[in-house]
Amino acid sequence: MKALLGGLPLLASADVSWTLREGTRPNMQTFDMMPADADTLATKIGPLKLETDRFTIEALYVIAALPGDNPHIKRVMVADRRVWWSYKLVRRYYNKQRNIGVKRITDPQSAPENLSVTPKVWYQRWTLKNQADGIDPASARWTVTQALEDVFVSINQKEIEVFGAGSILKGQNLSSFRAIDIENLIILENGDQAINRLLKYLPQAGIYIDYNGDTIVYSKSSGAEAGLVVSAGAGIVGKGDIRFVDNAPLRPREVHVLFQYEPEVRFDFDEAGSMTITADTRYSDNVLPTPDYSLVVSGQTYAQGTYITVDEAFAAWGVPPGFTSNISHAIVQRAMVPYMDLWAGVELSGALDPNADWASRIGSIQQNYRRTYRINRHWLDRILGLKAYRVATVNQVTGTRAPAIAYSDYCYIPGQRALFNERRNDISVKDLSYAINVKGHPAKYSEPASKNLNANAKGAPAHVTVADADQGIVHLDYMIDPYRLFEAILPSMMTQEDKEESVDDNGLPLISGPTADITQRGRPVCFDAIESSHLGSLPKLTRAHKMSLILTAMPGAPNDERALYRVKIKPADVKDLLPHNAKIDPAKGPIMEIYVGASTATARVPWLDARKTDIEAIFGIPNRDPSQPFVDQSDKIKDIVLNDVATGRGGASLRAISLATAARLYGSMVSRFEGEASFDMNGILRPAGWVNEVTHTLDRDGKAFTRFRTPDRLEPFDVFTFLDSSTRAMLLKLASPDTTE
């Protein structure tokens, strides 16, 4: 049996073989030749043929002439045309999106200030396949196969430029591929890697160089390996075996995909003590960092900077010099009103007591009174992470979320412009008050702060920050409007001391302190002009302040996988995602659990007062007897998880991600032919299905055989292959170009 390379004979001192191998890396093999013949081929420019009596391989290139076993033999190294693919740098932008226009949305889970607009996403025209004027971008996009052909033409250039020849790209049943859309795909890499990138968008697509040098793209999940094995005939004894392997015992009967919870949790503050407090209550305390170098609180010494409650501070500081009693809420509520300068006496009294810096103490009160809160320790001990945002995604392009919301009463101190505008405005009732109250919390004085939020609740214009997550310290910064129509915002409503009980049906004070209208008898005309007959009419902050704060808290307890949200997937659920020939039934193995990291997606649970018991149960609340089993809450709260099924402002669909994750797993556990075996040479057989190598060999004894090889293990599918475009867009911080919203 003869064998020729480039028309020159090959020696029988070594096997003559060639492998049709799947992948983007070239197949390289060496052949023994006479030194003169090897030198001749080494100087030849252009493709060669490998010819035998049983098979012919075209479009091969000599890339080196190497020494042999003795001076009478030289080895020639030959590669297929994929060797040139890496020589070409490919720069392509496919379907690159841009933001144009705006559209108004309504999302009750978002902060009011974020309900304005959201971008509508379209495409950069130069990244589309059809760039004609007036073309609909949705129909002008590149498809995967079009992009693959485009890149292939590019990488062929190097071979054509030098050798005058190039390959042809062919597909075997490309229409059977479940190709996914490409969005914002940027390729800036060498040709072989560029082809690899695009093949990821075709589920289990393989690529190889055929006998005649054509480039073939085919489906590895087609099941065609069965026909290949049958057509090969009887195997050669002692040269391996290839058999169908049923992986049913290994395949899990179910796949449970676990996600980190991101539930919103409401924490309430009730200064009046109207709430019934237990260890399980979602409450918070008004705290401040002690400014004293050391301070004894209830018999325990605290270092400077330690957070203590406002009431503990009042008690520990004692009676200021010149005062007859401790600082109290009543004193602070009067002194917090601006322009009164009621703090002056306390601050100056520090000179009489040098060991107590009263100026620092008062400064700490001003900075933290009704502004800084500490979450209940029992709850904090069950929280893995505390975040100052809401779980509803506001902007799908950037992935930014709505900030945490504080519901509290507050008070604007208007400037002269606001009073001027009110005076000149054509309204019948002009209050001309120096304080504008806003009843943000739905609870009245006598009602607990835990009252359900309703239409009367208003988010305070406060920036919420988690100052210390470990200690559960949260701070509210009330923000002045950028145009300074208002001079200040006070952390509660204002009233007049002798009129504090005068409120409307919602608890809004009927009199909010001084007014510029001198006709309103019984009200001061400014903050610091109090006649002797009106000493009981001082403006003050309202008593019994209430605040409700909604944060995102990731559960740490219970300390096992029950603190994760569980999505259950069965083999039948993923059948439509896998190629129709993929054999994944039956599945007899145990249930497999797979965790998807929080950087990919989380189970986002909005706070709903009506479902507070279910949300509390995520954290193992109420505190159960440790001997009693804690029930997984996934099925119970499935209906309120924002992104369980649909992809939208709530985030990427957990169901879609779970299906993709399960499909990736089941795709790597299909029942298939496995092993490697040799048969009498058949020079027309090619890679098919899971047979990724077909090697034809003429050994030195003159025997001719063909060897099949399957991979030892299947590489898992790319998860993105199985995700719908909107879920991929959400994960990639993109937005789908739709016109439905």
Q: What is the pLDDT of residues 43-79, one digit of tens each?
A: 888 899 999 988 999 999 999 999 988 999 999 999 9
Q: What is the DSSP letter of 276?
A: P
**Three-state secondary structure of 359-415:** HHHHHHHHHHCCCEEEECHHHHCCEEEEECEEEEECCCCCCCEEECEEEECEEEEEC
pLDDT tens, position by position, 101-112: 544 444 444 443
- Give residue limits of the domains in the chain: 255-263+555-667, 269-305+367-550
What's the mean pLDDT in 633-646?
88
Amino acid identity for residue 200 in this structure = K
| Beta bridge pairs of residue 509 | 503
pLDDT value, residue 349: 63
Q: What is the DSSP letter of 697?
A: E
Phi, psi of 82 (to 5 degrees): -65, -15
pLDDT tens, position by position, 307-359: 999 999 999 998 887 788 899 999 999 889 888 777 777 666 666 666 678 88
Instruction: Find out whether 475 and 375 touch, Cβ atoms under 8 Å.
Output: no
User: Among 71, 49, 74, which residue's Cα sits nearest to residue 59?
Assistant: 49
Amino acid identity for residue 413 in this structure = I
User: Among 3, 27, 16, 2, which residue's Cα sits nearest to residue 213?
Assistant: 27
Q: Which residue has the tokens 């800036």?
A: 188
Which of 225-234, 283-292, 674-683 tops mean pLDDT?
Answer: 283-292
Alpha helices in 286-388 (DSSP H): 310-317, 329-335, 344-348, 358-368, 377-380
Task: Count Cα neighbours of 157 within 13 Å in the Cβ-side half-sphere.
Answer: 12
pLDDT value, residue 236: 86
Q: Which two tokens stand for residue 333?
A: 């509520």
> At residue 399, does pLDDT exceed 80?
no
Residues 375 and 450: their CA atoms lie apart, in Å, by: 14
What's the mean pLDDT in 204-223?
90
Neighbours of 161 (CB within 10 A): 12
What's the mean pLDDT in 458-470?
93
Alpha helices in 164-273 (DSSP H): 191-199, 225-232
pLDDT tens, position by position, 478-491: 998 887 778 889 99
Contacts of 583 (CB under 8 A, 6+ apart): 223, 670, 671, 672
Which of 129-143, 288-302, 719-733 tops mean pLDDT?
Answer: 288-302
Residue 42 parent element (H or E): helix 35-42
pLDDT value, residue 107: 44
What's the mean pLDDT in 677-688?
90
How would you classify residue 591: left for phi > 0, otherwise alpha for psi between -120 and 50, otherwise beta? beta
pLDDT value, residue 63: 92
**Statement: the pTM of the whole predicted model exceeds 0.85:** no
